[in-house]
Amino acid sequence: MWVRGIRGATTVEQDDKQEILTATAELLRSIVEANDVVPEDICSVFVTTTHDLTSAFPAMAIRQLAGWELVPLMCALEIPVQPSLPRCIRLMVQVNTTRTQKEIRHIYMNEAKKLRPDIADAGAPKA
């Protein structure tokens, strides 16, 4: 078994607490579903936001999900390099897995698909 990082990012339309929490939960659920992991598989989750999101800690959304109470979470501010994508939330989910790097499915949603167009659609859960 290895520790692998699963990347994900999404954007919100405005700096609104509920919108930030909803988008964060949706992103995490998509990452978990696409990679078939459960909270017990998670080593930690590192969360960043751009400087223009100040209404909520995105980790709060993760804490509110059943089974995620003991998963270590850390929030930080994304480096403000210009021109950066505004109103962006990023996750780095570190998991214990037997999957290879190639088998990991990274998730990019909304405007964040622009960050990694090479893999943005490859990790999207099937409808």
What tens-digit pLDDT sequence spans the chain (127 residues)?
899 999 999 999 999 999 999 999 999 999 999 999 999 999 999 999 999 999 999 999 999 998 999 999 999 999 989 888 999 999 999 999 999 999 999 999 999 999 988 887 665 554 4
Dihedral angle over CA of 112, 113, 117, 119, nearest 10: 100
Q: For residues 122 and 60, is the Cβ–Cβ distance under 8 A?
A: no
* Cα separations in angstroms, 31 against 16, 17, 65, 83, 99: 23, 21, 14, 26, 14
List the catalytic residues.
7, 63, 75, 78, 90, 108, 116
Domains of the chain, CATH where assigned:
2-114 (3.30.1330.40)
Give the gyration radius of the chain's Cα atoms.
Answer: 14
d(CA 12, CA 51) in angstroms, rounded, equals 13
